[in-house]
Amino acid sequence: MTFNDIFKSSFLENVTSVSIVDMVLAMTLAFAIGLFIFFVYKKTYQGVMYSSSFGVTLVALSMITTLVILAVTSNVVLSLGMVGALSIVRFRAAIKEPLEIAFLFWSIAVGIVLAAGMIPLAVFGSIIIGLILLIFVNRKTHLVPYIVVLSCDGHESEKKATEFIKSKVNKFAVKSKSAQKGSVELNIEIRLKDDNTDFVNELADIAGVESAVLVSYNGEYMG
């Protein structure tokens, strides 16, 4: 078959199309698995502000990918045009959490696998991935890093406060220090000995300590 034969009407007439049953089944499963991905994303989200629009995007992405792959696998000529159209698309949305990349690839992979007719792989694979994410992402441990934002009125109160913190935690590391006349501010990375955070209350009661704030450290701190 030559290149010109591809564009003959006889070739286009012989191209197999997607049946209504296959189309409805693929899109329904894509929607169902997309909702499951949305549920896992919601349960495992650990960022500052949860975005429901990103969860809806995961559902839509699964269905859109399924639609595109169904069209590509059923028509060779359409697949050539689809490649050309998608090559000019630019996505500039910022990814706030590294885990969001995994969810995006998961949604795209589900759409591709479903459109390829590998329904058991898409269903069972998604269940396994979802369970793994739910178990490992939501696992709580006292070794999670925290940042103590400490404000003192001078060197003596700073020394007392830091010695107190060292006695209550497993790891102590100063990330940044800002000193002004009559004010010292420290950002300290710590690892707790257990889940108890009551030491922050005792820290705030130390003479000369103006404030003590404990925040979760997600690895994106710039010091």
Residue 172's domain comprises 145-216
How confident is the model over 32-39, as a mean pLDDT?
Answer: 94
Which of 110, 137, 164 terminates a domain? The answer is 137
pLDDT bracket for residue 176 (50, 70, 90): confident
Q: How far, in Å, CA of 186 to CA of 197, rounded?
A: 18
- 25-58 burial, b at 16+ Cβ within 10 Å, e below that, comes to ebbebbeebbebbbebbeebbeeeeeeeebbebb
How confident is the model over 82-93, as a mean pLDDT?
Answer: 58
Residue 1 lies in a domain: no
Q: How far, in Å, CA of 171 to CA of 185, rounded?
A: 19
Which of 17-31, 41-55, 101-115, 118-132 has the least mean pLDDT?
41-55
Which of 137, 165, 188 terminates a domain? The answer is 137
124, 159: one domain:
no
Q: What is the pLDDT of residue 84?
A: 56
Q: What's the whole-number average pLDDT of the chain?
A: 79
| The pLDDT of residue 223 is above 50 | no
Q: Is the model's pTM score more than 0.85?
A: no
| Alpha helices (H) in the chain, listed in sequence order | 3-6, 9-13, 20-44, 52-74, 76-86, 98-115, 119-137, 155-168, 199-204
Residue 60 lies in a domain: yes
